[in-house]
Amino acid sequence: MTHPNPSNEVAETSTSASESVPSQELTHQRIVVLDFGSQYAQLIARRVREQNVYCQILRHDIKAERLAEIAPKGIILSGGPASVYEDGAPRCDPELFKLGIPVLGICYGMQLTCEALGGKVDNTPCREYGPATCEINEHSGIFQGLPDSMDVWMSHGDQVSSISEAFEPIGKTGTCPYAAIRHRELPVFGLQFHPEVTHTPMGGQLLRNFVIGVCGCDPTWDMGDFAEATIEMMRRQIGNHRVICGLSGGVDSSVVAALLYKAIGPQLSCILVDNGLLRKGEREMVVREFSDHFKTDLHVVEGEKPFLETLAGISEPQEKRRRIGHAFIDCFKDEADKIQDAHFLAQGTLYPDVIESGADPDGPAATIKLHHNVGGLPEELGFELIEPLRDLFKDEVRRLGIELGLPESLVWRHPFPGPGLAVRCLGEITSDRLAVLREADSIVVEEIQKAGLYRETSQSFAVLLPVQSVGVMGDARTYENAIAIRSVNTNDFMTADWSRLPYDLLAKMSSRIINEVKGVNRVCYDISSKPPATIEWE
């Protein structure tokens, strides 16, 4: 489902809904990553999942007792921007090292491990940022099958200056004598470099050695098995009740609808709220796909007027999301009341949504922005939530869509935010400004497709800026709108880099937008990565 969440609060749901996916049978062999603020924490989780092992990101200060309850097969301590010797630096529960669960500390995580177990960490003039060569002196455990030296990626100003007798060094660089260490008795390892980044070419094998070799995980995290198990779990959970699924036409809600259709067939009702913030041709596409392809009970709600009325004069991004959330609830509730025996509400919540919203009580607590999918509709609607995708990254959802037999045009469609064009129309929202943005956006997508780059880029769209600039058109002075083009490449949407689109393609987009979209006289290209920027502008 792709609706805006009106608040940061997580709606209360029954135990069966909130814990329905993932099940113990799917995730009993999990690796957990304790997040200390690293920009790479999500990347670590992705790299573990590439080994076909489920991985979950948790709070850095989670208690050892809670970890024992979760019973992961292994624990990875992420990097982080702090120094372990600073007051207030984030720390883990030292009792976790006594659980007998294998631990791998990466960068800050390694320094924290050493400090907790008798070592010392200092700031050093021999800082390393970038490529380095790690000399390996032990070829067992995490270095099983790896060569005597390997290229690695360093990013640290502090490093371990001494280790206790309980540890031994197993890798070094020219300036870092403790680039890799292991505990002599406990299954505890530390790496000063980052195995999760592509700049450490053999990092995948190293992580595999930890996950499969040290932790003893079976590589069974498979999309086919996930689909079958999830369909069966939903079938048991739903019984004879009816489920409502909110549709947007995006891949997330499409995959949720496909899972539900396979699980319960005619018990599924879908609602599309046309809020006036959709892309060009969006409504028509959704009606076509979900009336013809899925044969679902589809309800289309005319909601443009109330949405634009509540957004009038509002330019602050979070307030936009909040108001859109409340307007959505009103429209959705009115239509849902017409559907008899509806007991469940299905949402297309993804794992990045859960992470960035701080919605997981065991997960990282920082809230980056209000997410459209996290938390669900208010308790007074009386729905029990079903969120079958909340533990998947975007690329995993696409693989699941292919597994379910969805058409590639749906599976590979670029993502679209729940608040729609409202978060791409910076400043005040009006029907005229939305019309300008909608036409410009359509041109961007059309030209990306014509150039054969739609599958090679992850998300491409137009943004209407809240500024006007001087131009000359037909020998006359103009003072009109500026459009920014945004195109990014990413595997998981947790990090992203701007697409290196050909100059000729950018020139064609610019020319068409300025010539064909009335009210635009300037086009810019966004070359910001995530982080520090987000993919969406608001």
pTM greater than the 0.85 cutoff: no
User: Edge-to-edge strands of the sheet including 242-246?
Assistant: 297-302, 268-274, 242-246, 342-346, 384-386
Quick check: helix, strand or coil at residue 197? coil
Q: What is the pLDDT of residues 299-313, one digit of tens each?
A: 999 999 999 999 999
Residue 375: predicted pLDDT = 42
Residue 401, C-beta contacts closer than 8 angstroms, at least 6 positions apart: 251, 254, 255, 258, 410, 411
Using the predicted structure, report yes or no on whether residue 365 has a pLDDT greater than 80. Answer: no
Residue 504, C-beta contacts closer than 8 angstroms, at least 6 positions apart: none
Look at residues 210, 207, 208, 199 and name the one whose alpha carbon lies nearest to residue 152: 199
Confidence of residue 43 (pLDDT cuts 50, 70, 90): confident
The pair of structure tokens assigned to 456 is 């090679």
Report the Cα 197 to chain-centroid distance in Å. Answer: 17
Using the predicted structure, report yes or no on whether residue 461 has a pLDDT greater than 90. Answer: yes
How confident is the model over 212-216, as a mean pLDDT? 97
The residues assigned a catalytic role are 107, 194, 196
Residue 475: predicted pLDDT = 67
Cα angle 18-22-24, degrees, rounded to a multiple of 5: 110
Using only C-alpha atoms, the chain has a radius of gyration, in whole angstroms, of 25
Using the predicted structure, report yes or no on whether residue 22 has a pLDDT greater than 50. Answer: no
Residue 291's H or E segment, with its range, is none
Q: Across the chain, what does the average pLDDT equal? A: 86
Contact status, residue 214 vs residue 30, Cβ threshold 8 Å? no
Residue 44: predicted pLDDT = 92
Domains of the chain: 15-19+222-411 (3.40.50.620), 30-214 (3.40.50.880), 424-525 (3.30.300.10)
Using the predicted structure, report yes or no on whether residue 140 has a pLDDT greater than 60. Answer: yes
Confidence of residue 286 (pLDDT cuts 50, 70, 90): confident
Contact status, residue 63 vs residue 513, Cβ threshold 8 Å? no
Q: What is the pLDDT of residues 76-87, one digit of tens each?
A: 999 988 888 888
